[in-house]
């Protein structure tokens, strides 16, 4: 849910962009967005809600023609229940070279992922840079 709210705040301006008449005819490459969240383990309920929120937001953006005529594609990776799994999930997302990464909301996962995000130079939400 929180990630969905973040998604609306960060990507919401795209919702206000009127759909160009030619948007349906374009075959632009999708804009990649990554999400790392717990989909298994004791905190899966939080992660599943985050995934649903981000998916809802991106579905709305795509329904209105995407961003500048480009669809937005979501890649989701499960952080599981450990910091090691969180780092591995983030590395898998980074391999896809997304425009933005929605990171885990679980504190130990955030702490574990911070250095990798800083090194990757990708923009993340929540921000993981000083």
What integer is the mean pLDDT of 16-29?
Answer: 54
- Reported as type and span, the H/E element at residue 102 is strand 100-102
Q: Residue 17 carries which DSSP code?
A: S
Residue 78 token pair? 């499960």
Task: Indicate the pTM of the whole model.
Answer: 0.74
What is the DSSP code string of 30-85? PEEEEEEE--SSTTHHHHHHHHHHHHHHHHHHHHTT-BTTB-EEEEEEE-TTSHHH
> Which class would CATH give 35-125?
alpha beta
Q: Which helix (H) or strand (E) holds 98?
A: none
Backbone dihedral angles phi then psi of residue 70, each to the nearest 5 degrees: -100, 130
At 71-126, the pLDDT tens digits run 999 999 999 989 999 999 999 999 999 999 998 888 899 888 888 888 887 777 76
Q: Where are the domains of the chain?
A: 35-125
């Amino acid at each position: 849910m929180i990630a969905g709210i973040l998604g609306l705040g960060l990507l919401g301006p795209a919702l206000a962009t009127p759909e160009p008449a030619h948007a349906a005819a374009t075959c632009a490459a999708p804009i990649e967005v990554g999400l790392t969240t717990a989909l298994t383990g004791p905190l899966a309920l939080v992660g599943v809600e985050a995934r649903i929120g981000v998916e809802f937001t991106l579905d709305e953006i795509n329904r209105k023609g995407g961003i500048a005529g480009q669809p937005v594609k979501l890649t989701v990776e499960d952080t599981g229940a450990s910091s090691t799994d969180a780092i591995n999930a983030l590395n898998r997302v980074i391999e896809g070279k997304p425009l933005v990464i929605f990171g885990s909301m679980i504190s130990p996962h955030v702490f574990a992922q911070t250095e990798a995000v800083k090194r990757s130079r990708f923009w993340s939400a929540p921000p993981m840079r000083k």
